[in-house]
């Protein structure tokens, strides 16, 4: 357990992870003695500002907002309430308040349970506590720690429509080679996805999350204060529901989804 009330350490026979109360965000994680999630060495730990790395929660919208509201919503910048804590598990809650309603005028309840075992598991739930239906999109914005992103590739998205700003939307032709910068949305994605990193494969499995996003800006990130020269050290492969997969909830309904992360040696 960390001495800070806002930072929780999870431990299991298989690894460790650190979780921040801000954003209910896993900051970094190791499994089987190797890093699974990447936390930028230049990450800015400032109240109310996004922390670069781990698994930020983008909610109730993903990406830029058409009205100029904060990108990726507000959930990653708010402190969540701690509901449950064990050595290998933690559960958080976020409810609407005056800050959230100023940006998104609905009554809601989010819960996120994070469990560390042989894999890292996320159980994500959104409850509509309002008197009217609402739409939302979201993503679990996972930063995976890799040896060098330019030598990595991603399998599982062949044939799925790939959407990028300024590009024609086309089906993905086979594996995604990550030698070049990428910011690609797949509103419909299968399960699981496989990120190949040297002698291992990171497996990203999801339930109830129809979309995927693959992102690393390449050398352009050297001008970003909290990434800089460390950009080759990660690849973002996100799961959630965005674009055409946006979720509509009626009053009283709950959306449930999950994500499992782990890795295995090639040739297993």
pLDDT tens digits along 224-244:
999 999 999 999 999 999 999
pLDDT at 67: 85
pLDDT at 167: 86
φ, ψ of residue 233 to 5 degrees: the values are -85, 0
CATH assignment of 7-265?
2.70.98.10
Annotated catalytic residue: which of 127, 187, 233, 238?
Answer: 238
Mind spelling out the 3-state secondary structure of the chain?
CCCCCCEEEEEECCEEEEEECECCEEEEEEECCEEEECECCCCCCCCCCCCCECECEEECCCCCCCCCCCCCECHHHCECEEEEECCCEEEEEEECCHHHHHHCCCCEEEEEEEEECCCEEEEEEEEECCCCCEEECEEECCEEECCCHHHCEEECCCCCEEECCCCCCEECCCCEECCCCEEEEECCCCCCEEEEECCEEEEEEEECCCEEEEEECHHHHHHCCCCHHHHHHEEEEEEEECHHHCEEECCCCEEEEEEEEEEEECCC
pLDDT at 5: 53
> What is the chain's pLDDT, residue by residue, as a tens digit (268 residues)?
333 558 999 999 999 999 999 999 999 999 999 999 999 999 988 888 889 999 999 999 999 898 888 899 999 999 999 999 999 999 999 999 999 999 999 999 999 999 999 999 999 999 999 999 999 999 999 999 999 999 999 999 999 999 998 788 999 999 999 999 999 999 999 999 999 999 999 999 999 999 999 999 999 999 999 999 999 999 999 999 999 999 999 999 999 999 999 999 977 6
121 flagged as catalytic: no
pLDDT at 23: 96
Asked whether the beta carbons of 142 and 237 are under 8 A apart, the reply is yes
9 flagged as catalytic: no
pLDDT at 64: 87
Annotated catalytic residue: which of 72, 78, 127, 141?
Answer: 141
């Amino acid at each position: 357990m960390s001495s800070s009330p806002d930072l929780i350490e999870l431990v299991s026979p298989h690894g460790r992870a650190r979780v921040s109360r801000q954003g209910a965000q896993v900051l970094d994680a190791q499994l089987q003695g190797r890093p699974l999630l990447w936390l930028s060495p230049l990450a800015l730990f400032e109240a109310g500002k996004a922390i670069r790395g781990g698994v930020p929660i983008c909610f109730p919208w993903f990406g830029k907002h058409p009205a100029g509201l904060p990108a990726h919503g507000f959930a990653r910048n708010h402190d969540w309430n701690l509901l449950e804590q064990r050595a290998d598990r933690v559960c958080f809650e976020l409810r609407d308040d005056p800050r959230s309603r100023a940006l998104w005028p609905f009554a809601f309840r989010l819960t996120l349970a994070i469990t560390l075992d042989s894999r890292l598991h996320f159980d994500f739930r959104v409850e509509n506590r309002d008197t009217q239906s609402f739409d939302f999109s979201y993503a679990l914005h996972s930063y995976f720690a890799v040896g060098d992103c330019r030598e990595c590739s991603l399998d599982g998205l062949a044939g799925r429509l790939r959407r990028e700003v300024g590009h024609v939307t086309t089906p993905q032709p086979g594996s995604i080679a990550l030698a070049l910068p990428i910011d690609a949305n797949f509103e419909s994605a299968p399960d699981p996805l496989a990120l190949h990193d040297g002698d291992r494969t990171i497996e990203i499995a999801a339930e109830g999350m129809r979309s995927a996003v693959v992102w690393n800006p390449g050398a352009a990130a050297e001008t970003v204060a909290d990434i800089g020269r460390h950009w080759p050290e990660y690849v973002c492969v996100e799961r959630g529901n965005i674009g055409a997969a946006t979720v509509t909830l009626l009053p009283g309904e709950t959306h449930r989804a999950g994500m499992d992360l782990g890795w295995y040696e090639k040739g297993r």
